[in-house]
Amino acid sequence: MSESQNNSPEDLQVETSQPSWFERVTQFFQNEVKDQEQLLDVMQEAKKNNLLDQYSLTMIEGVMQVAEMQVRDIMIPRSQIVVVERESDLKTILPTVIESAHSRFPVIGENKDEVVGILLAKDLLTQINNGESNGFNMREILRPAVFVPESKRLNVLLDEFRANRNHMAIVVDEYGGIAGLVTIEDVLEQIVGEIEDEHDIEEDTYIHEHSNGTSIVKSITPIDEFSEHFNCEVVSDDVDTIGGIVIKALGHMPKRGESVNRYGFNFKVLRASSRRIHLLEVTRVVEPEKNNSTEEQTVEQDGHSTSVKANDKQI
């Protein structure tokens, strides 16, 4: 018997190499998927091996995130909804449509909890072209409103949007009150990232001023450019952008509708994802008086304001 045959299995040392990426992927899809973390690990390795680009990886992560998120996580809060009253005439509605630049508007009865339908801005064109402003009847052009609960999963909502060819839904809370609204664009942005829409400003422009005294500001606006535009002094050693100022002031990644007062301005989050702020609405306010050690800043979320104390230092 040869010497190798006399060796026990414990004495044999077998050199094994790490499985290749292709072998790992093959093995992964042959076996039962255990969790999302395992899938993401494989996708990350695919990107490292140039088999998957960053955009595709971001979309995969977005799809997985959408399956875990609920409508309440991305909805436009009630306080930020632009509505049209059912009894309004055409002359009253047109300035609202033009100023907001939205394409769809919830139509309400006596209050915001009574949503009676959806008005499409394009439906007003026929009324204008036909010179029917005097005989305008809102009820004739109303579209039915779709209502969804705050707890609905985003992947389910997206399927419903596609199946029904709908673009907007009114979000209701557990008591039947209006909590906000959500659009198909809001859901898609969780997957593909920011989509240019009616709120967006020119690519090479950071700040756009409205006639009502508010300004729409990109979160990536450099602090020095913001200070120069508004003739103010915003200074920070920790962050470089206005979005960074807002995140630092709030102490967390804000959701749409949250706001904070800093440096004599109110910063309201218009657009945000789970990863970053996109757009801010900026309004000049009277800054609260400061004492020697602390300053008070107002933080608002979903229309409810609270005051918090912050250390008297620059952020």
Ordered by start, the domain boundaries in the chain are: 18-70, 73-192, 207-311
Please, which pLDDT band fits residue 276 given cuts at 50, 70 and 90? confident
Tokens of 274: 């789970």
Whether pLDDT at 91 is above 80: yes
For residue 290, what is the DSSP state? -
Can you tell me which residue has the tokens 């299995």? 9
CA distances from 80 to 69, 90, 168 (A): 21, 22, 15
Query: Torsions phi, psi of 70, nearest 5?
Result: -115, 165
Which uninterrupted H or E stretch holds 278?
strand 277-284
Can you tell me which residue has the tokens 């790992």? 24
Q: What percent of the chain has pLDDT over 70?
A: 73
pLDDT tens profile 103-124: 899 999 988 889 999 999 888 8
Task: Give pLDDT, residue 125.
Answer: 81
Which conformational region is residue 209 in: left (phi greater than 0), alpha (psi within -120 to 50 degrees), or beta?
beta
When pLDDT is averaged across residues 93-107 and rounded to a whole number, the result is 86
pLDDT: which is higher, 114 or 22: 114
Whether pLDDT at 149 is above 80: yes
pLDDT: which is higher, 292 or 282: 282
Please, which pLDDT band fits residue 213 given cuts at 50, 70 and 90? confident
Domain covering 73-192 in this structure, CATH number: 3.10.580.10
CA distance 218 to 213: 17
Task: Give pLDDT, residue 266.
Answer: 93
Fold classified for 207-311: 3.30.465
Task: Give pLDDT, residue 197.
Answer: 54
When pLDDT is averaged across residues 221-228 and rounded to a whole number, the result is 92
Task: Give pLDDT, residue 124.
Answer: 86
